[in-house]
Amino acid sequence: MRSDNPVSKVRATASWLKARTRQFKPVAAIIAGSGLANSLPELTDRLAIPYSNIPNFPGTTVKGHSGELVFGRMGGKDVVIMRGRFHYYEGRPLNFIAFPVRVLAFLGVKTLIVTAAVGSLKPSIRPGDFLVLKDHINFMGGNPLIGNYDPIFGEMFPDMNEPYDATLRREVLAAARKLKVRASEGVYLAVTGPSYETPSEVKCYRMLGGSVAGMSVVPEVIAARQLKMKVLGICWISNFTSGISKVALDHSDVLKLGEKVSVKMKVILETVLRSKNIRGI
């Protein structure tokens, strides 16, 4: 196969990782969002590999994204965590966003948990709240599956009737109630960024059915569902979007609030990883 063939690259990267992490057979993966450095589960037998060492993995360019794969164990399961994701607005081709998800699948991952900081489109969903995703709207103007199809990744036209697993959603909401954390279900509206939304755009997105707006998650989820992965999406509200709040938006504020919600997110993620609904083949 040519070196630029998507299957060839995924296999090469997965083989490189397997050779260095033979003690792990991860069945679940977490993609950590902005401001959540302190929310990662306490894994035993922890092994971290910087992206810069991994073939075909570029470095991250966004503050708050460390850029490393962390392997470990929790709840009797092997887990891998992406500390830092890749974004369309960084200049990555949109179909590249499918690449790390496919690598995770080739490592054996069956359940993908995506987390993210998002802006609320509704006054009732407040900063510091959690939103468990039940659906999404792709407003990014493209799809990560375009131009890199191969049958080994799944169907060319994957079904998206239930992008986010209903059972895992219920478990997260139950865990949030026990923690007395404000949490609800909602719809993620994905935009390209990196500019924040205008007040008129916010009105439009709300009319379309969005609960929150963000600049990631959806391309990863589409790639995961093509691979028949079970997906859970947990967002934390970092800010109100333009027009709801009169305060100018700043990424540094997102990181500060993230430090406060990280402890609660950590407990929720650890609860999910112990779930009997997350398992291998």
CATH for 256 = 3.40.50.1580
What range does the domain containing 185 cover?
6-273
The continuous run of DSSP H or E covering 239 comes out as strand 230-240
From its phi and psi, is residue 135 left (phi > 0), alpha (psi between -120 and 50) or beta? beta
Active site amino acids: 34, 65, 87, 89-90, 117, 215-216, 239, 251
CB 39 within 8 A of CB 269: yes
In a domain, 281, yes or no: no
In a domain, 279, yes or no: no
For the chain, what is the domain count?
A: 1
CB 4 within 8 A of CB 93: no
In a domain, 1, yes or no: no
In a domain, 36, yes or no: yes
pLDDT tens-place string over residues 167-220:
999 999 999 999 999 999 999 999 999 999 999 999 999 999 999 999 999 999
Nearest CA to 31 among 189, 224, 274?
Answer: 224
In a domain, 24, yes or no: yes
CB 221 within 8 A of CB 163: yes
Angle between the 166-179 and 251-273 helix axes, to the nearest 10 degrees? 110
C-alpha span between 28 and 24 (Å, rounded):
11
CB 192 within 8 A of CB 93: no
CB within 8 A of 255, min separation 6: which ones? 34, 35, 63, 64
**pLDDT value at residue 77:** 95
Residue with tokens 């050779």: 19
In a domain, 280, yes or no: no
In a domain, 278, yes or no: no
In a domain, 62, yes or no: yes
pLDDT tens-place string over residues 34-56:
766 678 899 999 999 999 999 99
C-alpha span between 113 and 106 (Å, rounded):
16
Positions of the chain with pLDDT lower than 70, given as ranges: 1-4, 35-37, 59-65, 246-251, 253-255, 280-281
This prediction has a pTM of 0.93
